[in-house]
Amino acid sequence: MDHFVWNVDPVLISFMGLKVHWYGALFATAIACGFQVMKRIYIKEKLPVESLDNLLMYCVIGIIVGARLAHCIFYDPAYYFSNPLKIFAIWEGGLASHGGGLGAILALYYYRRKMDMPFLFLLDRLAIATAIFGFFVRMANFMNSEILGLPSNVPWAIVFERVDMLPRHPAQLYEAVAYLLIFIGLWAVYKYTEMKQKEGAIFGLFLVLVFSARFAIEFVKVKQAAYAEGMTLSAGQWLSVPFLIVGVVLLVMPYLHKKVKA
């Protein structure tokens, strides 16, 4: 069976020694799209749009620092503990989405203290922007031929020629499509339902959907942490479990609270 062969150069543009990589371009697009989603929400709810510049700065720093530290600690600790200066070599690659999520949450908490706004209220809104952010980041991984799926002969398998000649599950595209659908769903929930009035519910739904998708797709992904090779579950799946539990709690608590009051 012939399979689609993927061999795109990670460099998008190269001009006079200056290189723009697909990953950087799509990461910037992710930030820009997330910012526009938050801007629309702030305008709709008559919130101070000018404060979004600070939120953007805090979140970008939180995402990068959190994602980098999580990668170093959870995916290749032996290497980075032996070479601690390599932790700062972000240009060599290595960002973990779980850590990026935690970094964004901490950044939002810092922003919330300055703005004196409810934390869960902000998390509900940021969750929508984060879903579209995740879509573009996984597309960047696809352009880089990284975060590979397991070898497979399914009709839609892709040969990542920059890595090897084995047809593989396009795991990056699975996640990208999942996050795009989650974004559309969350936006519809925010716009057309009363769930946004229940603080924490949309963020809880986001956590349940995103990390359920992540948990399922990990079964067809190459394990990124060497120490997880002999384990039934991957490092990504183990890291997803706490987020799933928190998501379920946040999703059901507002409804349980309402039932108790009634």
What's the CA angle centered on 100, arms 110 and 119, to 5 degrees?
A: 35
Q: What are phi and psi of 25, to 5 degrees?
A: -65, -45
Residue type, position 112, single letter: R
Burial call 24-47: b when 16+ CB within 10 Å, e when fewer: eebbebbbebbbebbeebbeeeeb
Of 105, 107, 80, 111, give the one whose Cα is nearest residue 94.
Answer: 80
Q: Taking the CB of residue 214, how many other CB atoms lie within 10 A of it?
A: 24
Q: What are phi and psi of 164, to 5 degrees?
A: -165, -175
Counting every residue, how long is the chain? 262
Q: What are phi and psi of 8, to 5 degrees?
A: -80, 135
In whole angstroms, what is the distance from residue 219 CA to residue 238 CA?
A: 12
Q: What angle do helix axes 52-70 and 22-44 make, rounded to 10 degrees?
A: 140
Helix, strand and coil percent figures for the chain, each rounded to 5: 70, 10, 25
The answer to whether the annotation marks 113 as part of a ligand binding site is no
- Binding site residue list: 138
